[in-house]
Amino acid sequence: MSENHPDKLAGKGMPESMREMAEERTRDISHAYDVIKDARKKPANLAGRGFA
């Protein structure tokens, strides 16, 4: 994710006009990680309640 971070890209000379696109990409990656993280937690939570 760090390779898409807007601040890091700005430091490499990315035009300011592309910053919003980089921020959106960072949000998408972060959201995808949260979905995966939540999916990994669910089976563990269900196992503790007698569902597994």
Q: Encode pLDDT of 4-39 as tens digits.
A: 677 777 777 878 788 888 888 889 999 999 999 998
- More confident position, 31 or 50: 31
Percentages helix, strand, coil for the chain (3-state, rounded to 5) are 80, 0, 20
DSSP strands (E only) in 1-52? none
Residue carrying structure tokens 């430091």: 11
Q: Is position 27 within any domain?
A: yes
The average confidence (pLDDT) of the chain is: 78
Q: Is position 32 within any domain?
A: yes
Q: Is position 52 within any domain?
A: no
Q: Is position 18 within any domain?
A: yes
Residue 35 domain boundaries: 2-47
Count of domains observed in the chain: 1
